[in-house]
Structure 1
Amino acid sequence: VALGNWESAYRKASSFVAGLTTDQKLALITGSSIDSTNGSFTALTFLDGDMGLQDYFYVSAFSLSSAIAMTWDRDAIYDQAKAVGSEFYNKGVQVVAGPTSQPLGRTPWGGRNVEGFGPDPYLNGLATGLTTKGYVDAGVIPGAKHFLLYEQETNRTGGGADSAPYSSNADDKTLHETYLWPFYDAVHNGLGAVMCAMTKVNGTLSCQNSDLLMKHLKTELGFPGLVWPDMNGQSSALESAVNGEDYGSSSIWSTSTMETLLSNGSLSEARLDDMAIRNMLGYYYVNLDNGLQPDHQDEDAYVDVRGNHSKLIRKNGAKSMVLLKNKNALPLKKPRVMSVFGAHAGPVIGGPNMAMNVQGSGPTYQGHLASGTGSGQASYPYLVAPYVSLTNKASEDGTMMRWILNDTYSSSSGSSLIMEGTDSTAVAASYTNYATNADACLVFLNALSGEGADRTELYNDDQDTMVNTVADNCNNTIVVINAVGPRLMDQWIEHDNVTAVLYGSLLGQESGNSITDVLYGAVNPSGRLTYTIAKNESDYNVKICYTAQCNFTEGVYLDYRYFDAYNVTPRYPFGHGLSYTTFSYADLTIEKPSNLSKYPTGEQTVGGHSDLWDNVASVSVEIANTGSLEGAEVPQLYLGFPSSAKQPVRQLRGFERVEIAAGDKSKVTFKLRRRDISYWDVAAQQWLVAAGNYKVYVGASSRDLKLNGTFTVQTSS
């Protein structure tokens, strides 16, 4: 493998390891600090996660990865990662357990989908790569997870009488085109560590799986760094070591265990050296040897690393919110009377860092949901709930605001409220009474899941009854949803009085401010869905697997690729999102590829064959802002492959978020790389460019396609 800009790190790591004794090498790969004649090394600290440091004081709680992906904004994704990385760096932590590419979101019931970037491999890969680069540029080692095909929580550590975790069984084409694809981006952008999943792939534990770790990750992708296991990810030190794991700190992978393997010849000195070098490569690659990183801090030490990150979190949170529906209800304009409903609008009764135990806590959260659980949970310095930000806005505007911060409130009695009107009228607190005569009714919903448990429903009867009750009595009912994944809404979406729906993922500490900024028009919404919202649960083709063998028989047909192939009509399609202004599309131009070789011919590099990353074609369009407000549009490029490739109807292969002033135009150009027009040839074990006609579609979502064209590719052997 041509190491490229890893070459210097490799020389340093090799030199350092060459000066170590066998005992010191063993200490290095088992997580101990060492002092040698060749220098000293303090053991690496590994910590979750992508939305900020867990369990620390004076740190920020960022948006989850699923939220930042909804911005469809490369700069926003990178900027958040660099900010997160800087907080790790300044707390003396070296390895971020992230980016979280997977769970990808094979099934919308997946409990940890909220931690990832969504089920489209192209979008997921781009976000995974940008996050990797952000961490590297902040001076910390990115540790991408979970490798590989880790797509649900059920039976992840075994089920019933079987103590073994489930096995994700996928064919070679599916593995490459869907699940391995994002890791190419991560490795290409400087990935220093990979966490292998606790589950099995094709019958073998991921952390003991030579095909995954040695063949695909370290050889095909040219990954130079270390592999470490997720909790319970290994059952044998020998099987892990000889098949690709490089670091561990459990009783299974201990100094004495590894010593025994060396002495009996099961583990070679050459493999030990390889593991030791890989443990040091990321450290040198991000220049942690320069001595500038602050010492590791105790969790409660008064070391404030937040800087001005609150502004970034608020901005990105607003940018990620998706306007699904709007019948001229938004933005709000100083409503005289505003009623707010739902537990999600207010803070939880104790918090904000109150333990969130998903198992047994139900499908909704009884407070404002802005963080994940388990590895997806951050440490809030504070949490701005919508109730707080809306109260501040009501105070500024002179709005009369009332609220019921509960999802099941139906009492006809309660504290009376004096309403504005000709006559003073005492109003009992109930959904019906508070909805009646309000200028705007805001109903807040959430959907909860996280590490340890999958979702049990994609809707909620209590919340949906609340929406309908309010809408029956308020002709301007605006629904705000923050959800861990697809949240169905067909119980009320066509109600005449549901005038707007604002939708997002979990936004971190500034969540209420971000939402209010969009509701009142301080920010023009530009978020886009990263998954399909169906009309019915039965419209999704992949459910939770309850057996030990989970067969990925759907292949590459996930989310919109399945909906398109089987003509299933979604409620809201992948890529959908509205604005407070309008846009038009025109002037599609295509610069087609010249003659290409069928297979890549570039040298094997860190990130695969070098020419996989070459730009080989481009597509341009002109976007005009035809409305009266400045706004951002996200034009999306989809490709249909030649029929011989047997690919999905359309696949995302480009997007740009472009801000345009009212009345102005902007030319948008999508660059197509060689890998973007390739598919996995199982027989040749290589990425193949199909010869023939490619269909080009450009539009505002996977279903709202404004322009189309074709280009022809000729290939040579």
Structure 2
Amino acid sequence: MQWLAGALVLATSRLVLSQDGNTTAPFPNSTYSNATSSDPATAAFTGPAFSPPFYPSPWGSGAGDWASAYERARAFVAQLTLLEKVNVTTGVGWQSERCVGQTGAVPRLGFRSLCLQDSPLGLRNTDYNSAFPAGVNVAATWDRGLAYARGQAMGQEHRGKGVDVQLGPVAGPLGRAPTSGRNWEGFSPDPALTGVMMAQTIQGIQQAGVIACAKHFIVNEQEHFRQAGEAVGYGYNITDSLSSNVDDVTMHETYLWPFADAVRAGVGSIMCSYNQINNSYGCENSYTLNYLLKGELDFQGFVMSDWQAQHSGVGSALAGMDMSMPGDTLFNTAKSYWGANLTVAILNGTIPEWRLDDMAVRIIAAWYYVGRDQSQVPINFDSWTTDTFGNQHYYAEEGYTLINEHVDVRAEHSTLIRQIGSASTVLLKNNNSALPLTGRERFTAVFGNDAGGNQYGPNGCPDRGCDNGTLAMAWGSGTANFPYLVTPETAIQNQVLGNNGVFQSITDNFAGTQIQSLASQASVAIVFVNADSGEGFINVDGNEGDRNNLTFWQGGDVLIQNVSALCNNTIVVMHTVGPVLLSNYSENPNITAILWAGLPGEQSGNSIADILYGRVNPGAKLPFTLGASREDYGADLLYIPNNGTDAPQQSFTEGNFIDYRAFDKADVTPVYEFGFGLSYTTFSYSNLRVNRLNVSAYTPTTGVTSAAPVLGNSTVNDTAQYQLPSNFSAIPYYIYPYLNGTDDLAEAANASDYGLPGSSYIPAGSQDDSPQPRLAASGAPGGNPELYDVLYQVEATVTNTGPVAGDEVAQLYISLGGPYDPKVVLRGFQRLSIQPNSSTTFHVDITRRDVSNWDTSAQNWAVSSAPKTVYVGSSSRTLPLSTNLS
């Protein structure tokens, strides 16, 4: 029985603990406080980065609005056997069931295997589903309502297919560097904007009855070297994954910020990441999982591994991971760090049973929290084929049956998708009111590969792993199949022909002679260009997930130059995953308009036509900065290993200064700044008002937790009940919790690599089930509740001074005033719809967190004595209103 024989092979070689260092400091810069003696980000990296141990793993308490879910979950888990608990926490293996990840089931109690499915923009690997705009487009809307509506619609589609957990949304990568391959899956390099959109998306998904999964936790900021094996495939000889090295202040004030918002919003699950954090793998990093996430943020849901991100058995369990995905050590190996190994570790006392109970309770509590007991439907699709009939156990080629019922879950979501597509289109340039077009132009010409369709069809490249045709979605696991794709060429042609106009197009970027001929005839030329990126397991044109540069793809820059040289009314539309270099075009008089349309999904063409022809007045704002050079962004990726064959080291020496904060610090003028966006009308700002509220002083959380709940007791000496039943027909490659022989436990107990109770191999405190001190910054999901006390209410008047109705995104920034603080940080925004010659009120509440800094010595938030200034305006660099905060 090869599948079982292999199940325990890794037990003695990799059932290890996390690589946490033995330092007592919380992060590398723990020796400094927020004093003015040195820049924290510079001071942090004077030696090798370490991640300190923190044990035991905090047990869920049912804090916040989780109490009812926890009561029900504990009652459920108390009924489970050891094998059933292990089954709930361990995936059954890659391609062993129909979803991209599935846990074991508890048939005795009618608890079905949990189905986990990509992606953060819709259902991956299915049919009759919608293809939603990417997260970066949602951020560009700056619209809370649209973020929630998109989350709810995606949740409804996942629910309709039988999915229990949607693997999204994304706050990691946040967007430290503009070329990072998966930035588009998330929202924005600004933590406050990302945090709001994360929270709204999560609430939408979970309102639909599906568990959301916030990912990838944490500082997962590039594709290069995220997995050693993947990098070896690209020719880089490394033995361990990249380490993202970050100081304590930066961790809290930038990268942890949106995850705090996610936890406060009630997210049911969080995915730990591939990379190392300060030289400890993300899925066995006891500091980030136990201290930051479960301790400080009081996260009540469960932590799952990214697929193949688990590197140890005991180590990951004690460090706070709760679910192993997809269950096998590497795809289709039939070996697992958990499964039978987890059963052994409980029986020999290496892992205390209360830790396994907590894993199971957290999973079941999330299931109850979102109402899965009321909304669950049978799984009716298969991730590995769209054939109607096939093998339920795809890799094992067993269980031939009906596997795809082709359930149409799209409802009327195309209307929302079209709305988000237009609401996220940023108008960057509009000389002499070149836009909107009337539809009665004498000769409309469209240029660019990005205007047309993929010659292989919209889903012709697996996981969108090519750059053929218009770019409506980038590549990787964060994708969904298109039910159709409306191209810009089709939508604009329909518009022009509806007005009996002349329309011609060329979608070959390299058809030089034909392009010149057509451009010289056109009264308006619309040029479509793109820049793509994606996940690291796919290489497109030499881009290993991450982009190699910030230029347009497929010769797009030459195309723009050729067309604009011959047509003095050239409009450029960009479908890009993020920043590109535009300085050659922003001042070109023949380029009358520039628009960023991002990754708008299935309604791409209709969305851009709505903007071009004035059916929708653009109101979007840039969720990132467009600079004149790559160097202007400060932070960059690591493309070549820098540590021999050991883990590449990427130190975040820029600290909090990424994107617009870096431009402000260096006093570099961007081409178009963060938060910038034009409209077909104009707006003015006036009458800034600040009301200070009478709020009590901040109180650090004190006291201790309850003891770890005792929900079950397994008999260590009776191994017979844990053996594979004699009448059980095992599926090849499937991960089971059963032992494979009567002497397994004895062998394990004599194996020093397992570590027996009391052994120095077990981290100090990791088995302690007694009440634990509560962290000062903790107290409720999202952190100390008093961080969210409203200290100030800010209002301003925004007036539409133009001729047509339009949307304006009013933005509030704060200067925290310290010598190492960014010049300004975004702290509030509101998208306002205003009629011509009318005014409305912009309102933002400023919380204690908004004006606080992280104090490394106190391990808590604190409001410094530095003067604070509030600014209100239309972008990060257009802030006409300001006042001091008392």
TM bracket, shorter-chain basis: over 0.9
| Counterpart check, 1:296 vs 2:470 | no
Q: What residue in structure 1 maps to residue 304 of structure 2?
A: 228
1 CA distance for matches of 2:572 and 2:610?
A: 15
* 1:406-461 per-position Cα deviation (integer Å, ceiling 9, x unaligned): 222113xxxxxxxxxxxxxxxxxx22211113111000001010001210110138
The answer to whether the 8 A contact 1:214-1:243 is kept is yes
Shift of 1:231: 2.1
2 CA distance for matches of 1:173 and 1:539?
A: 23
- Residue 559 of structure 2 aligns to a residue in which SS? helix
Alignment of 1:373-522 (within 5 A): 373-411=475-513, 430-452=514-536, 453-460=545-552, 462-522=555-615
| Counterpart check, 1:91 vs 2:161 | yes
Q: What residue in structure 2 maps to residue 335 of structure 1?
A: 441
2 CA distance for matches of 1:378 and 1:150?
A: 22
- Residue segments in structure 1 that go unaligned for 5+ positions in a row: 412-429, 713-717
Shift of 1:666: 0.3
1:122 to 175, 192, 213: 192
Q: What residue in structure 2 maps to residue 609 of structure 1?
A: 784
Higher strand share: 1
Letter aligned with residue 637 of structure 1: L
1 CA distance for matches of 2:154 and 2:160?
A: 10
| Counterpart check, 1:309 vs 2:379 | no
Report the more deviating stretch, 393-402 or 538-547: 538-547
| Counterpart check, 1:287 vs 2:287 | no
Q: What residue in structure 2 maps to residue 549 of structure 1?
A: 649
| Structure 1 residues 543 and 643: alpha-carbon distance in aligned structure 2, compared to 1, 3 A threshold | closer
Shift of 1:370: 0.5
1 CA distance for matches of 2:363 and 2:78?
A: 13
2 CA distance for matches of 1:654 and 1:696?
A: 11
Letter aligned with residue 335 of structure 1: E
* 1:226-250 per-position Cα deviation (integer Å, ceiling 9, x unaligned): 1111122121111101101111122
| Structure 1 residues 270 and 2: alpha-carbon distance in aligned structure 2, compared to 1, 3 A threshold | closer
Alignment of 1:72-111 (within 5 A): 72-111=142-181
2 CA distance for matches of 1:356 and 1:616?
A: 50
2:104 to 1, 8, 32: 32
| Counterpart check, 1:21 vs 2:81 | yes
2 CA distance for matches of 1:375 and 1:515?
A: 26
The answer to whether the 8 A contact 2:62-2:68 is kept is no
- Residue 477 of structure 2 aligns to a residue in which SS? helix
2 CA distance for matches of 1:491 and 1:460?
A: 12
The answer to whether the 8 A contact 1:600-1:612 is kept is no
1:633 to 802, 808, 831: 808
The answer to whether the 8 A contact 2:295-2:778 is kept is no
2 CA distance for matches of 1:465 and 1:600?
A: 59
The answer to whether the 8 A contact 2:301-2:365 is kept is yes
2 CA distance for matches of 1:188 and 1:357?
A: 32
2:248 to 155, 172, 178: 172
The answer to whether the 8 A contact 1:580-1:631 is kept is yes
Q: What residue in structure 1 maps to residue 116 of structure 2?
A: 46
1 CA distance for matches of 2:818 and 2:340?
A: 56
1 CA distance for matches of 2:468 and 2:461?
A: 13
1:196 to 272, 278, 291: 272
1 CA distance for matches of 2:262 and 2:617?
A: 31
Letter aligned with residue 231 of structure 1: W
Q: What residue in structure 1 maps to residue 430 of structure 2?
A: 326
* 1:523-558 per-position Cα deviation (integer Å, ceiling 9, x unaligned): 000111011000112212111113301000000000
| Counterpart check, 1:540 vs 2:633 | yes
Work out which structure has the larger RCO, using CA pairs closer than 8 Å and 6 or more positions apart in sequence: 2
Shift of 1:611: 1.5
2 CA distance for matches of 1:661 and 1:370?
A: 32
Runs of 4+ displaced beyond 3 Å? 356-359, 593-596, 598-603
Shift of 1:356: 5.0
Q: What residue in structure 1 maps to residue 688 of structure 2?
A: 588
1:564 to 657, 664, 677: 664
Q: What residue in structure 1 maps to residue 453 of structure 2?
A: 347
1 CA distance for matches of 2:699 and 2:418?
A: 45
1 CA distance for matches of 2:480 and 2:297?
A: 31
Percent sequence identity is 41
| Counterpart check, 1:667 vs 2:841 | yes
2 CA distance for matches of 1:356 and 1:109?
A: 22
TM-score (norm: length of structure 1): 0.94
The answer to whether the 8 A contact 1:318-1:525 is kept is yes
The answer to whether the 8 A contact 1:2-1:604 is kept is no
1 CA distance for matches of 2:476 and 2:822?
A: 35
The answer to whether the 8 A contact 1:2-1:606 is kept is no
1 CA distance for matches of 2:126 and 2:307?
A: 21
TM-score (norm: length of structure 2): 0.76
**Cα-Cα RMSD:** 1.5
2 CA distance for matches of 1:550 and 1:96?
A: 30
* Count of residues in correspondence between the two structures: 686
2 CA distance for matches of 1:188 and 1:474?
A: 52
Alignment of 1:208-219 (within 5 A): 208-219=284-295
1 CA distance for matches of 2:469 and 2:258?
A: 34
2 CA distance for matches of 1:171 and 1:603?
A: 20
The answer to whether the 8 A contact 1:192-1:225 is kept is yes
1 CA distance for matches of 2:420 and 2:695?
A: 42
| Structure 1 residues 307 and 681: alpha-carbon distance in aligned structure 2, compared to 1, 3 A threshold | same
- Residue 604 of structure 1 aligns to a residue in which SS? coil
2 CA distance for matches of 1:356 and 1:100?
A: 21
| Structure 1 residues 240 and 522: alpha-carbon distance in aligned structure 2, compared to 1, 3 A threshold | same
1 CA distance for matches of 2:69 and 2:857?
A: 36
- Residue 868 of structure 2 aligns to a residue in which SS? strand
Letter aligned with residue 597 of structure 2: G
| Structure 1 residues 112 and 465: alpha-carbon distance in aligned structure 2, compared to 1, 3 A threshold | same
Shift of 1:598: 5.1
* 1:240-287 per-position Cα deviation (integer Å, ceiling 9, x unaligned): 011011111223333211112122221111111111111111101011
* 1:89-143 per-position Cα deviation (integer Å, ceiling 9, x unaligned): 1111010101111111100010111101110000011111111111111110011
2 CA distance for matches of 1:583 and 1:599?
A: 42
| Structure 1 residues 433 and 600: alpha-carbon distance in aligned structure 2, compared to 1, 3 A threshold | farther
| Counterpart check, 1:161 vs 2:233 | no
Shift of 1:599: 5.3
